[in-house]
Amino acid sequence: MRRHLKILDFALASLQRRPFKNWAIIAVYAFTVAVVASVLFLTQSIRREAAQLFVGAPELTVQRMVGGRHVPIDIGVGETIAAFPSVVGVEPRFWGYTYDAVTESTITIMGAGPGMATIDLVEGRLPTRPTESAIGAGVAAMWGAEVGGEVILVDAATTGVLYEVVGTFESPSDILTNDLVVMTAEEAALFLGLPEGKATDLAVRVANDNEIDTIAAKVKRAFPDSRPITRSEVLRTYDAVFHWRSGMMLAVFSGGLIAFVILAWDKATGLSAEERREIGILKAVGWDTGDVLELKMWEGVVISSTSLILGLITAMVHVFVLGAPLLTPMLRGWSVLFPELHPTPHVDPYLLFAIGFLTVVPYVAATVAPSWKAAVTDPDEVVRG
């Protein structure tokens, strides 16, 4: 044990002789780990949130398709679907978008069907009259509106309509409601210009989860122009969107990995003349090959474990404490009403081990491998170059 500690001590002394170079490697290495880990932590957290949240989503949503486009569906279709065994209820959804030219933002309009007007996460209540609305935190902040205030929205007939704000959604629900303006279902249909007897789509409640696919198939057979979307498909969509293999996240993730590979490759492609001379001298004063390799292994472990710990701590603080401010601009795109991200802290230990394994092991291997060649060569030859 003491022997290993002495070799570790010697490795630290050796690293201290080139402080600038080694601290630069640690900084780049830790930054790379922090970028990769931030992407993984953020995407994993949002994916997990979506998977947990949409358990409350409708088991089945039925749309009507014409010419490849989603068009309003007959409300009467719901009556037929409600008669299918295992269907608990069908409710039409009235939703759509409106563009606010003043703030250059797109707002989502959602109709709230009959039900409880007071609900958690709403300061005030949901609208019960056509002149009332409940608005998301993003919309409220944009217009400076609050409960008791008023908002003007331009409807499908380009008429400005005044609504009293009777509720605002509270911050924890931002990820679901940030850009929402909720009205009564009838008012939403009127506002969006939906024809009489039509809804945007139908939400279907199914009693038995095992029968959702069967009901979807029955709906499709009964109404060939319909498109049933099951809840598991919604969950799969968000799993794909926030998977590390998708889109921009993959670009950031691969950028970080490539930077790390270049770093490791630079180490693996050979030793500097000074390092070779150092190995030669150690061999000449009596160190055996095993000791030299252990010395190099410790150098690799010191650099990579320091960088890994610093990188992981930075990533956790960045994503879970600060709300991923460096990744948000990439996620935000052109969205005017992008919610403030507060990813629910969640770290899978498996992920930590995977990051550690993928970074520490290749770096240590890349440090030890070139040293092995110098360590097995005759010291005289190594020192003379």
Name which of residues 298 to 327 contact other proteins (CB under 8 A): 302, 305-306, 309-310, 312-313, 316-317, 320
* Dihedral Cα 161, 162, 165, 168, nearest 10 deg: 40
**Hey, which residues does 182 pair with through a beta bridge?**
110, 134
**The one among 46, 142, 293, 295 contacting other proteins by CB under 8 A:** 46
**The one among 35, 36, 216, 375 contacting other proteins by CB under 8 A:** 216
Minimum distance of other proteins from residue 47's CB (angstroms): 10
Q: Does 33 bind other proteins (CB under 8 A)?
A: no
**Which residues touch 131 (CB under 8 Å, ≥6 apart)?**
162, 163, 164, 187
Q: Does 359 bind other proteins (CB under 8 A)?
A: no
| Under 8 Å between Cβ of 344 and 242 | no
* 168 vs 142: CA distance, rounded Å: 13
| Under 8 Å between Cβ of 78 and 90 | yes
**The one among 112, 181, 293, 297 contacting other proteins by CB under 8 A:** 112
Three-class DSSP category at 266: helix
**The one among 33, 135, 292, 337 contacting other proteins by CB under 8 A:** 337
Minimum distance of other proteins from residue 48's CB (angstroms): 9
Task: Specify the stretch interacting with other proteins by CB under 8 A; choose among 29-37, 69-77, 146-154, 371-379.
Answer: 69-77
Q: Residue 157 or residue 321: which is nearer to other proteins going by CB?
A: 321
**The one among 18, 31, 51, 80 contacting other proteins by CB under 8 A:** 80
Q: Does 156 bind other proteins (CB under 8 A)?
A: no
| CA 218 to chain CA centroid, nearest Å | 35
Binding mask 129-148 for other proteins (x = CB under 8 A): -------x-x----------
Give Rg (Cα) of the chain.
Answer: 30
Q: Residue 169 or residue 260: which is nearer to other proteins going by CB?
A: 169
Binding mask 249-268 for other proteins (x = CB under 8 A): x-x-----------------
Q: Does 248 bind other proteins (CB under 8 A)?
A: yes
Task: Count the Cβ atoms, other than its own, within 10 Å of residue 67.
Answer: 5
* 47 vs 239: CA distance, rounded Å: 6
Q: Does 116 bind other proteins (CB under 8 A)?
A: yes
**Which residues touch 188 (CB under 8 Å, ≥6 apart)?**
94, 95, 96, 109, 110, 111, 112
**The one among 344, 354, 376, 381 contacting other proteins by CB under 8 A:** 344
Q: Does 217 bind other proteins (CB under 8 A)?
A: yes
* 344 vs 321: CA distance, rounded Å: 10
* 93 vs 202: CA distance, rounded Å: 6
Q: Does 247 bind other proteins (CB under 8 A)?
A: yes
Q: Does 358 bind other proteins (CB under 8 A)?
A: no
The upper half-sphere exposure of residue 85, i.e. CA atoms within 13 Å in the direction of its Cβ, equals 3
Q: Residue 14 or residue 382: which is nearer to other proteins going by CB?
A: 14
